[in-house]
């Protein structure tokens, strides 16, 4: 399965998810975001136990503001709808998998 595209109108799906969610805040023009996106997609296809989502900050500024996304890419890990980790900058697959091991 690929990462779910999340926007302001369907974000409640992430908030109400029971378990671990990984959210990638990105922009199409962002070089480091383009490096992370294939890794996020790979994790989405390998880890059915995770809700993996991506949020385009240009299209969803209210979500970016709510999560205090000042730099992209920003990865947010939520557990049962609550933020447990948040990091900015490109990360390797191993680093991202470590983030979701909460």
Does the active-site annotation cover 30? yes
The catalytically annotated residue of 3, 6, 22, 30 is 30
Does the active-site annotation cover 5? no
The catalytically annotated residue of 14, 20, 33, 77 is 33
Q: Residue 24's closest CA among 94, 90, 98? A: 90
Q: What are phi and psi of 89, to 5 degrees?
A: 105, 160
Catalytic residue numbers read 30, 33
């Amino acid at each position: 399965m690929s990462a779910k595209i999340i926007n302001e109108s369907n974000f409640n799906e992430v908030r109400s998810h029971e378990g671990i969610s990984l959210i990638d805040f990105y922009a199409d023009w962002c070089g480091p975001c383009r490096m992370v996106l294939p890794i996020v997609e790979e994790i989405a296809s390998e880890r059915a136990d995770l809700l993996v989502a991506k949020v385009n900050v240009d299209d969803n500024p209210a979500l970016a503001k709510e999560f205090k996304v000042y730099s992209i890419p920003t990865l947010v890990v939520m557990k049962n709808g609550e933020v447990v980790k948040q990091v900015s900058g490109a990360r390797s697959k191993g680093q991202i998998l470590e983030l979701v091991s909460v």
